[in-house]
Amino acid sequence: KQEVTQIPAALSVPEGENLVLNCSFTDSAIYNLQWFRQDPGKGLTSLLLIQSSQREQTSGRLNASLDKSSGRSTLYIAASQPGDSATYLCAVANQAGTALIFGKGTTLSVSS
């Protein structure tokens, strides 16, 4: 059964810092890995999608890497801003390939 773990559970940084969020998964036979952002009381916004054949994806100040063999992904946020404050979730497909399994997220707080 696929399980997804995210560490740390919470992170507080001052504005301008570069930071890394970690995601690990137990079954390396994944279709893809997706990172999402969730603001309080809102739905999920897709940030980056890495297909299983890819090693990384970049969008603006965000860079996500994927190492299937070790069952890990990292989300790198450069030059953090207060507007980056949110919960970040990673997800990979279940073994049936029918749905995404989510970690519990990392709640990020960036202070100005």
Partner 1 sequence: GAGVSQSPSNKVTEKGKDVELRCDPISGHTALYWYRQSLGQGLEFLIYFQGNSAPDKSGLPSDRFSAERTGGSVSTLTIQRTQQEDSAVYLCASSLGGLPGELFFGEGSRLTVL
Residues in contact with partner 1 by CB under 8 A are: 31-32, 34, 36, 42-46, 49, 51-52, 89, 91, 93-94, 96-105
For the bound state, the minimum distance from the C-beta of residue 109 to partner 1, rounded and expressed in Å, comes to 17
Kindly tell me which of 80 and 88 has the beta carbon lying closer to partner 1: 88
Q: Enter the tokens of residue 60.
A: 């603006």
From CA 97, how far away is CA 112, in angstroms rounded?
41
For the bound state, the minimum distance from the C-beta of residue 26 to partner 1, rounded and expressed in Å, comes to 15
Residues with Cβ within 8 Å of 98's Cβ and at least 6 positions away in sequence, in order, are: none
CA atoms within a 13 Å half-sphere pointing along the CA-CB vector of 106: 26
For the bound state, the minimum distance from the C-beta of residue 44 to partner 1, rounded and expressed in Å, comes to 4
Kindly tell me which of 80 and 108 has the beta carbon lying closer to partner 1: 108
Strand 62-67 relative to strand 56-59, pairing: antiparallel
